[in-house]
Amino acid sequence: MEEVFEELGAEELITRLEELVQEEDFSKTKTKIALIKVAFMRLLKEEKKAAFDKFIEEGGNKDDHKPQDNKVEKRFNKAFDVYRRNKIKFNEQQDKLKIENLEKKKEILEKIKALISSEESLKKTYDEFRELQAEWKKVGMVPSGEVSNLWQSYHFLVEKFFDKVKINKELRDLDMKKNLDLKVELCEKTEELLLETSIIKSFKQLQKFHEDWKDLGPVPQEQSDEIWERFKAATDKINERRREHYGKLQGEQEQNLLAKTGLCEQVEELISTIPDNMKGWQDQTNKMNELFGVWKSIGRAPKKENVEIWDRFKGNMNTFYGNKKEFLNSIKQEQINNYNLKVELCAEAENLMDSTDWKRTTQELIRFQQDWKKIGPVPRKHSDKVWKRFRAACDAFFNNKSSHFSSIHENEQENLDKKVALIEKIKEFKFSDDKAKNLDLLKEFQREWMGIGYVPMREKEKVQQQFREVIDAKLDELKISSTELSNASYTTRMEAVKDSPDAERVYRKEISFLTNKINSLRDDINLWENNLGFFANSKKADVLKQEFEQKIEKAKQDLAAMEAKVKYLRKMANE
């Protein structure tokens, strides 16, 4: 079975080459080695071309490209050097052998000449002649420059021998019959070549059969034309099949040329539009890679146009990557600016990564991440490093946060016991007649409650409700309104923020929130007051009107309280 090397990878080709160069019969291996070389050089060329195209695509200058040291290629060259040395040695041996064969055949010719002049008996002379013919066939190749003259001399002497010795008709007919049998056998072998799938192999074998045909003598006259026509017919069919094969190949190559011309036109259309942003260039690069992939999947074009169409396609690709390189150079400064912005974000994230203000810091880092996405690309050599730096800072905070909240749940039952104990403490606590002092005490109980950590989720609502009930009961008992307690708690909470680094930001944010609520509440009050004038004089309308008046009064109280808070916050922000 004929080996197919085009389907093997580089390593497999080298392994097979290393095996073949160790075989002693060079004549059996040289064709396979030549096919291995063609297959390997094609793979090597594709690999080097891919590396070069990648270098250019990434913005490299073609003059700066230096092929990388290829260990696979060195291994191939080492094995092929063995083949070259074997080939030189083989050729030297063959040349020497051909000269020896030439001398042997010359000696045979001299012996035939001697037979022609011999006076020996016909039987002995004929037997010696047949031995010389057999010996002639056994002698191998001779120098190519001597083949024609040698062959003509041999046939001249053969004819001369038959004429000289006047061989009788029976012996001549027997000799012709043997020649006929051998030529029939050649015809059969030639006809079997029509079943050979390899066009090249069948054609080479046909050439050998023609050489064998020439070495055979004449056949009976009445069958000479018939046997030649049979041999010629089989030869013509093989040659016709060969012409059809190469004709079909030519047709396929013409189709390949049309396909490659179409690809050139697509590339030319692609490079006619030059993008002005990175995404556009990336889209076009993907399209260019796709077109190049299709190009590589198409076979060769006709020989006379193959180089020309490749130069056209390659020239367009070079234009594309040249334009891309100019664009990348033009945005280099922009990428440097983007890099500086991202470095600033890294620094800000690193300042926050040890923070325990979980909520605020989480919001800040999320905002940083959103800002990061909005910033454009940075130089490739900094991209991975600056991202890892930013990612490390964010991960450090969120890992700390995760560890913190995971440990919180370990003390939930203990916290529940503390809150239950605090509720009982409030229930049993004896307050004085000093309202202000009692208010401070209630605020202190609330701060203590808030200072206790998480409780089991299933108990959260229940214990919170118990706390609200006991606080409400104490407020009723001490005749303190919930509004007074709320305002006192609010003041305490805002005073606690005063010494923090971002106190001003918290105050401004709270002022903005309250201002929006004040404006909304004023609009509602104006609307409700306006609607009062539309109520008719009836018992039902009076009830609704009374509800609206109570609602408006409550809203005005809330409005006054919020305005007081805004005034208080502005004072705190300016201190």
**pLDDT computed for residue 541 by the predictor:** 64
Mean pLDDT across 400-420: 77
What pTM, to 2 d.p., does this model score?
0.33
Mean pLDDT across 281-298: 86
Mean pLDDT across 296-309: 81
**pLDDT computed for residue 221 by the predictor:** 82
Q: Which amino acid is at 448?
A: E
523-533 pLDDT tens trace: 888 888 777 76
Residue 106, both tokens: 């010359």
Dihedrals phi, psi of 331, to nearest 5 degrees: -100, 5
* Position 516 pLDDT exceeds 70: yes
By CB neighbour count within 10 A (0-12 exposed, 13-18 middle, 19+ buried), where does 144 fall? exposed
Of 154-163, 284-293, 499-508, give the range with the top mean pLDDT: 284-293
**pLDDT computed for residue 392 by the predictor:** 92
Q: How many angstroms separate the CA atoms of 378 and 336, rounded?
A: 6
201-222 pLDDT tens trace: 888 888 888 888 887 778 888 8
Of 90-94, 189-193, 449-453, 554-558, give the range with the top mean pLDDT: 189-193
Judged by average pLDDT, the poorest of 104-118, 130-144, 397-411 is 397-411
Helix, coil or strand: residue 22: coil
Helix, coil or strand: residue 514: helix
By CB neighbour count within 10 A (0-12 exposed, 13-18 middle, 19+ buried), where does 84 fall? exposed
Q: Which has the closest alpha carbon to 521: 545, 556, 568, 490?
A: 556
pLDDT band for position 164 (cuts 50, 70, 90): low
**pLDDT computed for residue 391 by the predictor:** 92
pLDDT band for position 490 (cuts 50, 70, 90): low
172-205 pLDDT tens trace: 777 788 888 888 888 888 888 888 888 888 888 8
Mean pLDDT across 141-150: 83
Q: Which has the closest alpha carbon to 212: 239, 236, 188, 243?
A: 188
* Position 354 pLDDT exceeds 70: yes
* Position 540 pLDDT exceeds 70: no
Judged by average pLDDT, the poorest of 29-38, 356-365, 511-520 is 29-38
Q: Which has the closest alpha carbon to 560: 508, 483, 496, 476?
A: 483
pLDDT band for position 166 (cuts 50, 70, 90): low
Q: How many angstroms separate the CA atoms of 261 and 334, rounded?
A: 38
**pLDDT computed for residue 365 by the predictor:** 87
DSSP string of 66-111? -PPP-HHHHHHHHHHHHHHHHHHHHHHHHHHHHHHHHHHHHHHHHH
* Position 349 pLDDT exceeds 80: yes
Contact 180, 219 (CB under 8 A): yes
> Could you tell me the CA-to-CA distances from 284 to 40, 72, 310, 316, 321 in Å, in that order?
32, 34, 20, 13, 10
Q: Comparing 92 with 494, which gets the higher pLDDT? A: 92
What share of the chain has pLDDT > 70, as a percent? 87
* Position 122 pLDDT exceeds 70: no
* Position 537 pLDDT exceeds 80: no
Helix, coil or strand: residue 132: helix
* Position 479 pLDDT exceeds 70: no
**pLDDT computed for residue 170 by the predictor:** 62
Q: How many angstroms separate the CA atoms of 310 and 317, rounded?
A: 10
**Nearest 10 degrees: Cα torsion 33, 36, 42, 46:** -130
* Position 22 pLDDT exceeds 60: yes
Q: How many angstroms separate the CA atoms of 417 and 415, rounded?
A: 5
Q: What is the mean pLDDT of the chain?
A: 80
Q: Residue 76: how many CB atoms within 10 A of its CB? A: 23
* Position 27 pLDDT exceeds 80: no
Dihedrals phi, psi of 492, to nearest 5 degrees: -65, -45
430-460 pLDDT tens trace: 777 776 777 777 778 777 777 777 778 788 8
Query: Where do the structural domains in the chain lie, given as residue ranges?
Result: 168-323, 331-497, 500-575
Q: How many angstroms separate the CA atoms of 503 and 506, rounded?
A: 5
Mean pLDDT across 66-85: 79
* Position 21 pLDDT exceeds 70: yes
**pLDDT computed for residue 491 by the predictor:** 66
Mean pLDDT across 236-258: 80
* Position 245 pLDDT exceeds 80: no
* Position 156 pLDDT exceeds 80: yes
What share of the chain has pLDDT > 90, as a percent? 1
* Position 492 pLDDT exceeds 70: no
Q: How many angstroms separate the CA atoms of 231 and 225, rounded?
A: 10
123-145 pLDDT tens trace: 777 788 888 888 888 888 888 88
* Position 480 pLDDT exceeds 70: no
**pLDDT computed for residue 387 by the predictor:** 92
**pLDDT computed for residue 388 by the predictor:** 92
